[in-house]
Amino acid sequence: MALGPRLDLRQSQSLVMTPQLQQAIKLLALSNLELEAYLAEALEGNPLLDTASTDSDGSVGDPGDAPGSEGPAAEAASLDADQALASDSGTANDLDVDYATESHQQDSVADGGSGMDGALSMTGASAGGVGGEDGPDLDAFADTSLSLADHLLAQAGPAIPREDAFIAEHLIDQIDEAGYLTVSLLDIANRLGVPLVRVEAVLATIQTFDPTGVGARDLAECLTLQAKEADRYDPCMALLIANLDLLARGELTRLKRICDVDDEDMADMIRELRGYDPKPGCRYGGEPAQSVTPDLFVARTKAGWAIEINASTLPRVLVNRSYYTELSGGQQDKASKAWLSDCLASANWLVKALDQRQRTIIKVATEIVKQQEAFFLKGVAHLRPLTLRQVADAIEMHESTVSRVTSNKYVSCARGLYELKYFFTSAIQSADGGEAVSAQAVKSAIRALIDTEGAKILSDDTLVELLNAKGFDIARRTVAKYREALGIGSSVQRRRARTLEGAG
């Protein structure tokens, strides 16, 4: 075998993705809000991109549609750009390819990552509504714009001596968002070079601040501070707080013997503990809850199902050809002309990619609604098993395309707001050999059974029997897995909780 250097000619095939095609594939996976941020970056970087303006009559105007703005140069440039795009490998069919295993050149940060009306605009309007007599007392919540640390520092000013202010600031800095001190006092004393007793005195002062219970080192101390504030910290309450583990296990008989109280006193103490806040710091500085904005609206009409994209969260991006005509009409060097042509081609491609994205999303959503029509009509119990491949085969697209379209996107319908991934569930075989049902339908049946179990707590074995009677062929371990996924405790935990509710 020769060991010397030599030249060889080889032929091979490889998948090449243009930056434009990478961009189009990325747009599929973005939600409307993410796409809005992406378009803001694109508008800033390309002078030929512009957003549509709404005329006085409510119509959407194109910034490049002004009279006389379309000249021969603009038309020729547009034609050249369109021909270049048409001859490019990035067509609509190229979007429907699995590129999960491909690595691509990232050229920039962007490479890495009309309002609705009628029935659609009202769909799911009540999903996020909160009200009524049983609604939360908003006055009980502190102003979330003020952090817990700022709230405590404001109280420390007049309450802490000036020579101990640095100790108070350090202690407050170590209090977590729930209001607990998570660092040892000895470590803080050694770090600051002060006596331990001095740190303990400052902490004792901080523990008198609002909210009551802040600065505690564990749950027992937090409840103790609140009991003292309410003037309910007697020897019996102290013993109850010292044995919270027994209370969690529901061993009320043993607790009554330890605290030396009767049933009435024990119920009163438990009721008092339930009124305390185990995480007092959470009232301050928490991030406001972010509402989910739907990407799609689905509503039933006389003609069938109406599916529309929520255009209110997306600006309409247009190519400003009048500005291109103005720029191209002046004297330019070769580099400027090339840059201007690139901007026009990039703008044209982005507009086409956005249009293709909307068409693909509507196509996938239409097939999902078709497959899960029983859910939209009758509820979760009629949710059918569905996979990405089933939808992909039905619309003649690749499975990866459907996966991108359904990622981080939400649909609003009469039954509420759901992620598109929610409609893809595994199948549970029917006990009588009939049609399989979805895992979500089984979870719904489990929740319904537990919600109506009454005084007799249902074990997982009993749930299996009841589900088999309903036609669900399911194993006990699967019931336990679904129950835990729903956040429902075991029969033992539910029995203890029922006992505590009866005692309180």
Q: Return the bridge partners of 419, or none.
A: 410
- Backbone angles phi and psi of 128, in degrees to 5: -105, 10
In this prediction, residue 148 carries a pLDDT of 87
> pLDDT per residue over 47-66, tens digit each?
888 887 534 343 444 444 43
In this prediction, residue 246 carries a pLDDT of 85
Q: Return the bridge partners of 49, or none.
A: 319
Instruction: Inform me whether the pLDDT recorded for 109 exceeds 70.
Output: no
Q: Lowest mean pLDDT of 325-334, 337-346, 404-413, name the range.
A: 325-334
In this prediction, residue 435 carries a pLDDT of 64
In this prediction, residue 224 carries a pLDDT of 92
In which band, very low, low, confident or very high, does the pLDDT at 298 lie, cut at 50, 70 and 90? very high
Q: Lowest mean pLDDT of 66-70, 205-209, 278-282, 312-316, name the range.
A: 66-70
In this prediction, residue 368 carries a pLDDT of 93
> pLDDT per residue over 150-207, tens digit each?
888 888 888 888 888 899 999 999 998 889 998 899 998 898 889 999 999 999 999 9
> pLDDT per residue over 325-337, tens digit each?
888 877 778 888 8
In this prediction, residue 57 carries a pLDDT of 41
Instruction: Inform me whether the pLDDT recorded for 98 exceeds 90.
Output: no
Instruction: Inform me whether the pLDDT recorded for 237 exceeds 70.
Output: yes
In which band, very low, low, confident or very high, does the pLDDT at 379 lie, cut at 50, 70 and 90? confident
Instruction: Inform me whether the pLDDT recorded for 367 exceeds 90.
Output: yes
Tokens of 487: 């956040």
In which band, very low, low, confident or very high, does the pLDDT at 297 lie, cut at 50, 70 and 90? very high
pTM above 0.85, yes or no: no
Amino acid at 76: A
Q: What single string gives the DSSP state of each residue in 92-154?
A: GGGGSS--TT------SHHHH-----THHHHTTTTTT---STTS--GGGS--TTS-HHHHHHH
3-state secondary structure of 482: helix
Taking Cα atoms as reference points, which of 320, 380, 393, 285 lies closest to residue 66? Answer: 320
**The Cα angle at residue 381 between residues 454 and 447, in degrees rounded to 5:** 30
Q: Which of the 8 DSSP states describes residue 385? A: P
In this prediction, residue 107 carries a pLDDT of 38
Q: Return the bridge partners of 180, or none.
A: 216
In this prediction, residue 116 carries a pLDDT of 40
More confidently predicted of 287 and 340: 340
Q: What is the mean pLDDT of residues 384-399?
A: 90
Q: Which of the 8 DSSP states describes residue 422? A: G
Instruction: Inform me whether the pLDDT recorded for 87 exceeds 70.
Output: no
In this prediction, residue 110 carries a pLDDT of 35
> pLDDT per residue over 9-54, tens digit each?
888 887 777 777 787 788 888 888 888 888 888 888 888 888 875 3
In which band, very low, low, confident or very high, does the pLDDT at 96 lie, cut at 50, 70 and 90? low
More confidently predicted of 82 and 450: 450
Cα 402 to Cα 392: distance, rounded to the nearest angstrom:
6
Cα 221 to Cα 238: distance, rounded to the nearest angstrom:
10
Tokens of 72: 């021969």
Of how many residues is the chain composed? 504
CA 112 remoteness from chain centre: 21
In this prediction, residue 104 carries a pLDDT of 37
In this prediction, residue 282 carries a pLDDT of 85
Average pLDDT of the chain to the nearest whole number: 77
- Please give the C-alpha separations between residue 366 and each of 123, 210, 386, 395, 487, in angstroms, as whole numbers: 16, 54, 14, 10, 32
Q: Are the C-beta atoms of 155 and 209 separated by less than 8 Å?
A: yes
Q: What is the mean pLDDT of residues 85-102?
A: 45
Cα 205 to Cα 158: distance, rounded to the nearest angstrom:
11
Type and span of the H or E element at 17: none
Cα 242 to Cα 234: distance, rounded to the nearest angstrom:
12
In this prediction, residue 286 carries a pLDDT of 56
In this prediction, residue 91 carries a pLDDT of 43
Taking Cα atoms as reference points, which of 233, 230, 380, 319 lies closest to residue 48? Answer: 319
> pLDDT per residue over 249-285, tens digit each?
888 888 888 988 888 888 888 888 888 999 988 888 6
Tokens of 413: 């319908």
> pLDDT per residue over 121-151, tens digit each?
444 433 433 333 344 444 444 444 678 888 8
CA 55 remoteness from chain centre: 36
In which band, very low, low, confident or very high, does the pLDDT at 473 lie, cut at 50, 70 and 90? confident
> pLDDT per residue over 413-448, tens digit each?
998 899 999 898 877 766 555 567 778 888 888 888
Question: 101-105, 222-226, 428-432, 433-437: which has the highest mean pLDDT?
Answer: 222-226
